[in-house]
Amino acid sequence: MRPNRLVLLLATILPSFTVAADLLPPDRPIESVIDHYIDARLATSKSKAVDQADDYTLIRRLTLDLVGRIPTPAESKAFVESKDAKKREQLVDRLMASGAFVRHQANQFDAMISGPSSRTSGIRDYLVKALGSNKSWDVIFRELLVPNDDDAATKGSGEYLKTRITDLDRVTNDVSVTFFGVNVSCAQCHDHPLVQDWKQDHFFGMKSFFARSFDNGGFLAERDDATVKFKPTKGPEKTAKMMFLTGKTFNPPARKEQTKEEEIKERQKFEQAKKDKKSPPPPSFSARAKLVEIALQTEEAVFFSKAISNRLWHRFLGYGLVMPLDQMHSENPASHPELLQWLGRDMANHQYDLRRMIRGIVLSKTYSRSSKWTGDIPPAPGVFAVAQLKPLTPMQLAASMRVAVADPATFEGKPEDVEKRLESIENSARGFAGNIAAPTDDFQIGVSEALLFSNSDRVEKEFLNDGGDRLIGKLKTIKDPTQAVELMISSTLCRPATPDEKKLLTEYLQRRTDRSADAQRQILWSLLSGAEFRFNY
Amino acid sequence: MNTKSTFCGSNDHRLNRRGFLGLSAAAGVSAFADMTGLDALSNSALAGELKKDQKRVIMLWLAGGSSQLETFDPKPGAPTGGPFRSIQTAVPGVHISELMPKLAARMQHTCIIRSLNTKNGDHGGAAKLMMRGRRDEAVVKYPDLGAVMAKEMGRADSKVPDYVTFYTQTEGRMAGDSGFLGSRYAPMELTTNNQPPDIRKLDGISELDHVQRADLRELMSKQFSQGRPNKVLGSHNEAYQRVRGLMASEKLFDVSQESAKTRDLYGRSQFGEQALIARRLAEAGVPFIRVARAWWDSHGQNFETHQEMVPELDHVMAALIDDLKDRGLLENTMIVTLAEFGRTPGINSSLGRDHFASAWSCSITGGGIKGGVAYGKTDANGNKVVEGEADAAKLYATIYSALGINPHKNYYLGSRPVPLVEPGTEAIKELVA
């Protein structure tokens, strides 16, 4: 890379450090900074933000986002009726202190790291442990990229690389996409056609950090040497330098020429480890560890810190500050560049504390807007004037269905007992979740889901049966049809029934007095399969 | 480094960038953040996709890898030729294996490609390749032909499925895969019998209640949708709107609706019955149906295997051709007879043939393909292609072109244009009618 290019590149991707002085002060609460920047942009646009969501919607949204299920009727009622000015903070803190928060966020991070349809459980198990002990994002990053198979405390983290290392191009791009918000795959064959930032030097530079790694009989191993060569679109073949995305290069310690004997000895060490089913000997210098070190250095960390900020923002707001999530580069600026810079700086300043950032985001007014637009055409999602609908993940959907069809009385009692009951509900939802497609970019729901709900006896047996601890069982004891309707709506949709709904559904029941239990099941079915239930809105 | 495996809109891949650049110039790069309108834009930008909405594909998938020497590219008398003779077809100069006399008599409708060199001899990887026409990349999972057909030819309000796949046998069973197109275009999979999953109402609910609870669902969902325009929400409601229509299509899967004569035409074998169902589905407007017939992996006793299985294939192909022709459907329905690879010309010590991807054959009939053509050539022993070499990309470019789908059309993955076939690949012109 020519020096002038390097200057240009750094100037375009490192604005957070060059203009840091202009950002809001670092000690201001995250939520207030978010609202400041979002409102400032709204004030200059033609759009006006919609009102805040009502309390029923807010507790549903927070409960789904933080612990992966809908709230119980008792939780909703308590929240809505509370007059405490701090009730939202209290709810967020209660949910975030629960084991369910750790499990749900582990699911979300697993989908982000492994891909939506991953079948390996090792990474999720690792994430549950890591998030449960409040590990920060930089530590998780390090443990995924430099795993230690012999350390029981981080067991499972090695699966991330083990499942990828046989394809170095893949691991190079996956790591760049997931941890740095950058898709360098285009720069594999040529300098990126549209984005000046990405050259072949970057792709092969990043690949060089992984080129020494290989699979040694199911264990991740790293050699002391390996070179990556590539053929540029013009000119002779080049040997890649270890180069981070910022253009920062690193020269690995020179290695003295090995004799044939030394080479054979080294190979034998790896073979022996393979035979013994043991971790291979560590390298004298680890290129992967070096990558982690460089990526977290102050000047370089801008990619790491902004990428995780953008991904968390996307998870909770349903739309990124930079979209697509893997296209963070100078020609695809953030909708709110100062906000992303501030959030990135905040992450770095607070040791990449995920809980702190999540709490800040969900306490903002931007997060708690209504999802309903009342004007003609809603503004672009990147203005954040109205909340985005988020399709439930398979686990969110299945667990929520289980909560909805339970007799609400089973959620009353000591908080720790309720917590246990909810955990067992969550576990029992895992099977059904396997039938639901995980949301991806450009997600659309297919007919197989509609057919499953409409005709599968699995839905019938798992959700519409009339066991004693079930809603249907409880409904049998209720004679007044309107009261039954009210109970069904509050259990499934987490809000009171509207007058129109009461009328419509009561009539539905009254027309089927000869088969009232069936009619109740049909209404429950229509609520569970309905659009309102399917989304976090 | 394979410079063809990744594509991203660069001139290096020799693609017409007009669609991409024109759009970005008009809308600004940040507009790519919202990709909802792109499908419509890219569709209208690419003209010349005439009558494509009438096109259907029936794929006969010969799982395990059938032998080209015992089907479409016989080498009688050669050391690699095996015991079977070749016979003259209805097209002068074109000979195929004597195990396929019925297809031989219908050769004027069919083209054979004898020059496939697809370079992958591993069942799993090769099957993926031949079902997609291209290899997955690290971050790009490509849709298979069925999913592309579902997207290109399926309609949002269709009362029939978009993509059906029969894979009753277990050998090499590979689920259909819509890749980055997602679950909207995922197939209806039939693996245990000829009855699609969840298509029939449970006995516990009456017809009327089944309809009325769905109406209730729709009414309340519409209420919720007001003021919330959203593509995923739209797909959810569309999926439910299709349920009743799909349930009504159950009878399409029931061969007993056909006359005994028609059933005899296809034969009463599982393969024959599934091919007949495929015709019923194609006739009703299903864009893509795959019928897999396994157990072709003849590492031992290749000749007995083919002596038993090729006549069945011959019979089913002939029945499909005759039946589609009689119904006036052959013009718009393409029959693709394909496997993951062919088999080695060399005969091993178990009198078997092994995996071979360097010089093998497939056949395409109808749906815009030129009949009566044997394209490409292998050498005297069938060891290598000597004329008209075609890889998976070229085969797919040909299939798409014949169907009226521009093979260079782009899908979009985020802001990245992803063309249907490897850039720089052109269809085999001689085969496109």
Residues of B in contact with A327 (CB under 8 A): 414-415
Judged by CB atoms within 8 Å, which residues 15-54 of B form the interface with A?
A: 24, 29-30, 32-35
C-alpha–C-alpha distance, residues B355 and B344, integer Å: 6
The mean predicted confidence, pLDDT, of chain B is 87
- Picking from A332, A391, A452, the nearest residue to B232 by CB comes out as A391
Question: B244 and B387 in one domain?
Answer: no
Q: What is the pTM of this model?
A: 0.85
Residues of B in contact with A160 (CB under 8 A): none
Does the beta-carbon distance from A530 to B230 stay under 8 Å?
no
Domain tally, chain B:
2
**Mutation site for B-interface testing, chosen from A188, A330, A335, A454 by largest number of B Cβ within 10 Å:** A454
pLDDT, position B47: 31
Question: A275 and A345 in one domain?
Answer: no
Question: A286 and A319 in one domain?
Answer: no
- Picking from A324, A523, A535, the nearest residue to B415 by CB comes out as A324
- Within 10 angstroms of residue B50's Cβ, the number of other Cβ atoms is 9
pLDDT, position A8: 44
- For B225-329, where are the E strands, in sequence order? 288-293
Question: How many Cα atoms sit within 13 Å of A88 on the Cβ side?
Answer: 21
- For A283-401, where are the E strands, in sequence order? 390-391
Domain tally, chain A:
3
Q: Is residue B38 part of a domain?
A: no
Q: How far is B10 from chain A (nearest CA, A)?
A: 5
C-alpha–C-alpha distance, residues A47 and A448, integer Å: 38
Q: Residues B324, B333: contact at Cβ < 8 Å?
A: yes
**The domain boundary residue, chosen from B216, B233, B252:** B252
Quote the domain boundaries for residue A275: 165-295
**The domain boundary residue, chosen from A277, A295, A313:** A295
Burial state string for B271-299 with b = 16 or more CB within 10 A and e = fewer than 16: bbbbbbbbbbbbbebbbbbbbbbbebbbb
**Nearest residue in B to A440, CA atom:** B182
Instruction: Report the range of poorest mean pLDDT among A260-274, A346-360, B14-28, B407-421.
Output: B14-28
- Picking from A167, A186, A444, the nearest residue to B235 by CB comes out as A444
Does the beta-carbon distance from A446 to B184 stay under 8 Å?
yes
Q: How many whole angstroms from its chain centre is CA B269?
A: 22
- Picking from A335, A389, A447, the nearest residue to B239 by CB comes out as A447
pLDDT, position A19: 54
- Picking from A172, A381, A437, the nearest residue to B183 by CB comes out as A437
- Checking if the pLDDT of B1 tops 60, the result is no
Q: How far is A495 from chain B (nearest CA, A)?
A: 13
Could you report the per-residue pLDDT of B34-50, keeping only the tens digit for each? 333 333 333 333 333 33
Q: How many residues does chain B have?
A: 433
Q: Is residue A131 part of a domain?
A: no
Question: B366 and B386 in one domain?
Answer: yes
Residues contacting B54, CB < 8 A, separation 6+:
B332
Question: Is the N-terminal amide bond of A324 cis, ω within 30° of 0?
Answer: yes
**Nearest residue in A to B216, CA atom:** A526
pLDDT, position A144: 97
Question: B382 and B333 in one domain?
Answer: yes
Q: How many residues does chain A have?
A: 537
Question: B212 and B186 in one domain?
Answer: no
**The domain boundary residue, chosen from A278, A295, A312:** A295
Residues contacting B39, CB < 8 A, separation 6+:
B412
- Checking if the pLDDT of B3 tops 70, the result is no
Q: Phi-psi bin for A351: left (phi > 0), alpha (psi -120 to 50), beta?
A: left
Q: Residues B314, B269: contact at Cβ < 8 Å?
A: no
Question: A37 and A105 in one domain?
Answer: yes
- Checking if the pLDDT of B27 tops 50, the result is no
Question: B158 and B63 in one domain?
Answer: yes
Q: Is residue B319 part of a domain?
A: yes
Quote the domain boundaries for residue B211: 198-252
Q: How far is A84 from chain B (nearest CA, A)?
A: 30
pLDDT, position B12: 46
**The domain boundary residue, chosen from A352, A370, A388:** A388
**Nearest residue in B to A326, CA atom:** B414
pLDDT, position B138: 62
Does the beta-carbon distance from B216 to A389 stay under 8 Å?
no
Judged by CB atoms within 8 Å, which residues 153-212 of B form the interface with A?
A: 161, 180, 182-186, 188, 197-202, 204-205, 209-210, 212
Question: A348 and A435 in one domain?
Answer: no
- Within 10 angstroms of residue B88's Cβ, the number of other Cβ atoms is 12
Strand A229-230 with A238-239, pairing: antiparallel
Q: Is residue B25 part of a domain?
A: no
Structure tokens given for A256: 């003295």
**Nearest residue in A to B1, CA atom:** A230
Nearest to A12 by CA among A189, A191, A198, A241: A198
Question: A478 and A366 in one domain?
Answer: no
Question: A277 and A170 in one domain?
Answer: yes
Nearest to A128 by CA among A431, A426, A433, A537: A426
pLDDT band with cut points at 50, 70 and 90 for residue B95: very high
Judged by CB atoms within 8 Å, which residues 455-484 of A form the interface with B?
A: 455-457, 460
Q: Is residue A140 part of a domain?
A: no
**The domain boundary residue, chosen from B227, B252, B277:** B252
Nearest to A528 by CA among A351, A420, A399, A424: A399
DSSP state of B359: S
Q: What CATH number is associated with residue B383?
A: 3.40.720.10
Does the beta-carbon distance from B246 to A451 stay under 8 Å?
yes
Each residue's pLDDT, cut to its tens digit, for chain A (537 residues) gives 344 444 444 444 444 444 556 899 999 999 999 999 999 999 998 889 999 999 999 999 999 999 999 999 999 999 999 999 999 999 999 999 999 999 999 999 999 998 766 666 789 999 999 999 999 999 999 999 999 988 999 999 999 999 899 889 889 999 999 999 998 877 776 676 656 778 888 999 999 999 999 999 889 999 988 888 888 878 889 889 999 999 999 999 887 788 899 889 888 999 999 999 998 988 989 999 999 999 999 999 999 999 999 999 999 999 999 998 998 988 899 999 999 999 999 999 999 999 999 999 999 999 999 999 988 888 899 999 999 999 999 999 999 999 999 999 999 989 999 999 999 999 999 999 999 999 987 788 999 999 999 999 999 999 999 888 999 999 989 999 999 999 999 999 999 999 999 999 999 999 999 999 999 999 999 999 999 999 999
**Mutation site for B-interface testing, chosen from A189, A321, A331, A372 by largest number of B Cβ within 10 Å:** A189
Question: B304 and B262 in one domain?
Answer: yes
Could you report the per-residue pLDDT of B194-251, keeping only the tens digit for each? 989 999 999 999 999 999 999 999 999 999 999 999 989 999 999 999 999 999 999 9
Question: A70 and A15 in one domain?
Answer: yes
- Picking from A327, A378, A456, the nearest residue to B229 by CB comes out as A378
Residues of B in contact with A326 (CB under 8 A): 139, 414
Most distant CA pair in chain B, distance: 74
Question: A401 and A302 in one domain?
Answer: no
Structure tokens given for A143: 């443990």
Task: Give the dihedral sign, CA A185/A188/A189/A190.
Answer: positive
- Picking from B30, B202, B212, the nearest residue to A455 by CB comes out as B202
Question: B283 and B232 in one domain?
Answer: no
Q: Is residue B118 part of a domain?
A: yes
Does the beta-carbon distance from B237 to A531 stay under 8 Å?
yes
Cα radius of gyration rounded to whole Å, chain A: 26
Per the DSSP assignment, residues forming a β-bridge with B343 are B355
Q: Residues B11, A233: contact at Cβ < 8 Å?
A: no
- Checking if the pLDDT of B2 tops 50, the result is no
Q: Is residue A30 part of a domain?
A: yes
Does the beta-carbon distance from A518 to B230 stay under 8 Å?
no
Structure tokens given for B314: 């011959």
Does the beta-carbon distance from B9 to A177 stay under 8 Å?
no
Question: B219 and B356 in one domain?
Answer: no
Question: B208 and B313 in one domain?
Answer: no
- Within 10 angstroms of residue B65's Cβ, the number of other Cβ atoms is 27
**Nearest residue in B to A176, CA atom:** B139
Does the beta-carbon distance from A193 to B10 stay under 8 Å?
yes
Question: B248 and B168 in one domain?
Answer: no
C-alpha–C-alpha distance, residues B259 and B171, integer Å: 32
C-alpha–C-alpha distance, residues B201 and B399, integer Å: 38
What CA–CA distances, in Å, run from B22 to A110, A332, B26, B412, B413? 38, 17, 6, 15, 17
Does the beta-carbon distance from A439 to B10 stay under 8 Å?
no
Q: Is residue B12 part of a domain?
A: no
**The domain boundary residue, chosen from B213, B233, B252:** B252
Q: Does A337 touch chain B (CB under 8 A)?
A: no
Q: Is residue B28 part of a domain?
A: no
Residues contacting A109, CB < 8 A, separation 6+:
A127, A131, A140
